[in-house]
Amino acid sequence: MLVRSTPLSPAELRTFPLLKPLREELLLELGTSAHALELAANESLFRAGEPATALYGVLAGSIVLYRSSADGREQIVHDSGAGRTIAEAAVFLYGSFPVNARAGARGARLARVDGARFLELLDRDPSAMHSVLAALCRRLHELVDRVEMLSLPDAGQRLARFILRLPAEGRAGTFRVRLPVAKKDLAAQLAMTPETLSRVLKRWRDQAWAVVQEEEIELLDIAAIEELSGEP
């Protein structure tokens, strides 16, 4: 874990929607108690149960939040890309991390912000408080979506829904996406085995519904995938 201990600039901190509404002076102050971190691929950031003394923002790469079961299975709770903040909730409760965190397959660059300092700031700036509240509410909705997706009984349905919610590249009428994580991790996120994921994609290929190349997926028959997903 590489640490750069120079303060983070307000501009850097403003990449996070959570901090964006803070006044310049507060960001400057917050920057002095913040560091930048660099994590290698799959490197651990923190483990569930450790006391949460800081919150983190993802500057580049991605952070995977996961639980591990007794039998070694790894359940991915969320994959956080650039601009996301992590562990605010744990910091608020003055509690400990409820999940494990590690860098994604391509490593990660992070901002580490001192928790106590952050809490102080919130009490001084109501708009910051509102921003945090809104961020938590959005996270809540994401998790509700997640719960709904996981309760779909069919593996293909879950994958279809996941892909359709990904930001698509390309012209209107076409649908190209780049998987944000390794297929292994994606499978865990969708509550299926990597084998099943591979087979679902193969089926889509065989039926000419999609073209799959490495981490790029292009949907040829969007209507079919949408119908499979249950709802657009």
Q: How many residues bind DNA (CB under 7 A)?
A: 21
- Give the per-residue contact string, 131-170, with its own copies (x = CB under 8 A; - = no): -xxx-xxxxxx-xx-xxx-xxxx-----------------
User: In angstroms, rounded to a whole number, what is the distance separating the alpha carbons of residues 117 and 120?
Assistant: 5
User: Site residues for its own copies, window 99-128 (CB under 8 A)?
Assistant: 99, 123, 126
The CA distance from 101 to 117, in Å, is 22
202 burial via Cβ count (<10 Å: 0-12, 13-18, 19+): exposed
CB of 21 to DNA, least distance (A): 38
DSSP 144-161: HHHHHHHT-S-HHHHHHH
63 to 102, contacts with its own copies by CB under 8 A? Answer: 67, 69-71, 75, 77, 89-90, 92-93, 98-99
As measured in angstroms, the least distance from the Cβ of 108 to DNA is 14
Can you tell me the distance from the alpha carbon of 39 to that of 64, in angstroms, rounded to the nearest whole number? 12
Positive or negative, the Cα torsion across 189, 190, 193, 195? negative
Among its own copies, DNA, none, partner that 137 touches (CB below 5 to 8 angstroms by kind) = its own copies
Q: Which helix (H) or strand (E) holds 217?
A: strand 216-219
Nearer to its own copies, 35 or 146 (CB): 146
Cβ atoms < 10 Å from Cβ of 83? 13
Q: Does 47 help bind its own copies (rule: CB under 8 A)?
A: no
Is residue 195 a contact residue for its own copies (CB under 8 A)?
no
Under the criterion CB under 7 A, does residue 117 sit at the interface with DNA? Answer: no
In the bound state with its own copies, the residue whose beta carbon lies nearer, of 146 and 184, is: 146
Rg (CA), the chain: 19
Q: Does 184 bind its own copies (CB under 8 A)?
A: no
Ranges within 153-182 binding DNA (CB under 7 A): 153-156, 182
- Exactly one of 15, 92, 198, 222 binds DNA (CB under 7 A); which one? 198
201 touches which of DNA, its own copies, none (CB within 5 to 8 A by kind)? DNA
Cα angle at 196 between 84 and 215, to 5 degrees?
Answer: 45
50 secondary structure, DSSP code: S
Helices (H), 110-189: 115-124, 126-150, 155-164, 183-189
Please, what is the minimum distance in Å from the beta carbon of residue 46 to DNA? 20
Report which of 62, 84, 87 is spatially closest to residue 17, judged by C-alpha positions.
84
Binding site for DNA (CB under 7 A): 41, 153-156, 182-184, 191-202, 212
Binding positions for its own copies, rule: CB under 8 A = 67, 69-71, 75, 77, 89-90, 92-93, 98-99, 123, 126, 129-130, 132-134, 136-141, 143-144, 146-148, 150-153, 188, 191, 230-231
